[in-house]
Amino acid sequence: MKDTLITNNVLQASVAENVSLIKSIQEQYFTQVEGLVMRSITAGRDLKTLTDELEQRYCIARRRAKFIANDQNNKATAQMARVRQQSLGCKKARWRHTGGGKHPRESHVAADGKIFDLNKGLYIDGKWIFPGELPNCGCIGEPIIPGVDDENDD
């Protein structure tokens, strides 16, 4: 799928927003980190290079650098998937817990199969969130294609 101006703008905005949440990197380096994250994403989720760069440039422990690289890529990937789904006319999606982590969030496991609005998210743990948005969340949104998928099928 070819990205549009809208999806590119969303990617840039989401990377900037997500990078600003990193506590272990000084604010003065956010623009540089945004560039590193963008290159990682456009290189097809090049987590190793991003991890290496974060560790070497900003003196971050390897474990923390891996976490940041994975978290930033997951968030951007999830946001781009949602925007692409919306651009194809999808209005809703089904929350899918991927079960990849050692310590899954029980609320995300319980949300598996629930339908949510792609503009709003799903109300979990007292707030509206999207799959893959929280740190260490590997959940995905399975698009419901109008005229093809039935919201009641699971």
Residues 80-109 pLDDT 10s: 899 989 988 999 999 999 877 778 999 999
Q: Of residues 138 and 118, which shows the higher confidence score?
A: 118
Q: What token pair was written down for 21?
A: 């949440």
Rounded to 5 degrees, what are φ and ψ at 64?
-65, -40
Burial label for 36, CB within 10 Å (0-12, 13-18, 19+), is buried
pLDDT > 90? residue 20:
no
- pLDDT attached to residue 95: 97
137: helix, coil or strand?
coil
Q: Write down the pTM of the prediction.
A: 0.80
Sole residue written with tokens 């456009």? 42
pLDDT at residue 137 is higher than 80: yes
Distance CA 151, CA 23 (A): 39
Q: In Å, how far are 8, 23, 34, 41, 70 from 11, measured between CA atoms?
A: 5, 21, 11, 9, 16
In terms of Cα–Cα distance, which of 104, 128, 125, 132 is closest to 116?
128
Distance of CA 34 to the CA centre of its chain: 15
Distance CA 70, CA 96 (A): 19
Amino acid letter, residue 87: S
The residue ranking higher by pLDDT, 13 or 100, is 13
Q: What is the pLDDT of residues 23-78, one digit of tens each?
A: 888 888 889 999 999 999 888 889 999 999 999 999 999 999 999 999 999 998 89
- Cα–Cα dist 98/74, whole Å: 13
